[in-house]
Structures are given as structure tokens and as C-alpha cells.
Amino acid sequence: MQQDLLWWWRVLHTPYLNGVSLEYFNALPAPDITVEMDAPDYGLCALDVSSQAALTYQFTADERELIAAFKEGAPNGFDINFRELLSCAYAVHVWGCSVGRNGRPRHVLFRIDNASAVAWQNKLALQNPRAQVIIRLLSWWETSFQLRFSASHVAGTDSERADAGSRLAANPSYAAKFSSLTPGWSQVSPTVDIQGLADIWLCISERTPLPTPRSI
């Protein structure tokens, strides 16, 4: 709750919502950017289709252990919905500065093959503590980069490129398939691991403490 209040305090004390058209608070305009993504047990992939830009991230050994432990019943929050949100966060972390802050807000549509993750992103309501941190970070970037996020469901059979890119660590055949599906695309990998994403929000929240109320 305190972290959510801090997020609201930061948003209300920034100028980025000034002059935003009301259409961004109701039915959204057509997306300016569409990002396809997938997040199986091996890694993550996010694809900016219009710019032909691909982002891939392979889970570290520790992260794969957390995924395996979750499947065995450990309440560590490393479920598929959390991993899908990570794909969104990595995409904004890498591309947000270059596509945002350019006049009107830009509508970014995330195409996700998991219906629960779509609901998490659209409603911003969830109980997973790990995912709550990523949602706060995404929401802050949405405001500071002048972006507007939405998510829609895509059938797994229609996300062949993202499926291959997210499985590069599973089998060499996926690397060959991904290369054949993204010829000439720019390729990038994040410079921070998953804990590094969480640390970004921690740094933001620590450098802007809530003001001390005035005495009456």
C-alpha cells in the first residue's frame, strides 16, 4: 500500500499528464506500436513489429531454479503471468526512451498469449508481490515516457516469432528458426537481470520520499 501511495504521489507531482487528450482515458485510439511477446520457462522475447526490432532474454540459472521451484509449489511468485509482465517491462526499459516523449502520448499494444496476464496488464490489479513491483515500474514509465499501454490476447499459434525467440536457450533449432523469421531485424538483449528491474523501482522510490505532513 505504501508503495502504491508513493507511485500516486510521484505521478501527481509530475507535469506529464498535462494536456493529455481524454481519449486516452476511455476507448483508446489505434495503437502506434504493437509488441508481440512470449515468456516460457527458458526466456523472454518482445518484438516491435513495425520497427523490426527484437529483444530476447535468457533466464539465468537462479531464475530457472525459481521457475522450477514455483512449479513444485513454492510460493515465490515466478508464475507465467509474472514472466509475461517481465516481457512488457524489458521492452519499455530498452525502447521506452526512443519511442516516447514525442508530443501526444503513444499507444503501445502488448500482444500476449496468456489471458490472465492480459487482465493483469489492463486492470493493474494483482496479488503477486513480484508482479506488483513490475506493474508500478511499468506504470511509472507509462507516465514519464508519455506512453499509454494496453494488452490483448493472441493465440499461441499466431505468435510463432515470439515463441521461437523466447526459446533460444531450449534448443539450437529455435535460434535457426528465429533467425529465419526475423531477417534484417535489429537484435538486442537487456543489460539488467530480473532483480535489476525491481531495483530500478527501488531506486525511484528511495530518491523521492513522501513529504512530511505540515503540523496543524
Question: Which tens digit of pLDDT belongs to each residue from 64-106?
Answer: 999 999 999 999 999 999 999 999 999 999 998 887 666 678 8
pLDDT for position 11 = 56
Instruction: For the full predicted model, state whether its pTM sits above 0.95.
Output: no
pLDDT band at 118 (very low <50, low <70, confident <90, very high): confident
Cβ-Cβ contacts under 8 Å for 144 (sequence gap 6 or more): 14, 16
Here the cell at position 194 is 530480473
At residue 212's C-alpha, the angle toward residues 6 and 20, to 5°, is 40
Q: What distance in Å separates the CA atoms of residue 19 and residue 50, rounded to the nearest whole number?
A: 27
DSSP string, 129-155: HHHHHHHHHHHHHHHHTTEEEEEEE--
Q: Which residue has the higher pLDDT, 149 or 213?
A: 149
Q: What are the backbone dihedrals phi and psi of residue 141, each rounded to the nearest 5 degrees, phi first?
A: -65, -40
Residue 163 clears pLDDT 60, i.e. is over it: yes
Percentage of residues in the chain having pLDDT higher than 90: 56
**Domain assignments of the chain as residue spans, ordered by start:** 2-14+31-207
Here the cell at position 15 is 507535469
Q: What distance in Å separates the CA atoms of residue 161 and residue 184, rounded to the nearest whole number?
A: 14
pLDDT for position 104 = 77
Query: Would you say 81 and 117 are in contact if contact means Cβ atoms under 8 Å apart?
Result: yes
Q: E-strand spans in the chain?
A: 33-38, 43-48, 53-58, 106-112, 147-153, 186-188
Assess if CATH 3.90.1150.10 describes domain 2-14+31-207: no
Q: What distance in Å separates the CA atoms of residue 43 and residue 55, rounded to the nearest whole number?
A: 11
DSSP string, 149-177: EEEEE--GGG-HHHHHHTTTTT-HHHHHH
Query: Average pLDDT of 3-19?
Result: 55
Query: Cβ atoms within 10 A of the Cβ of 177, count?
Result: 18
- Give the strand pairing for 186-188 and 53-58: parallel
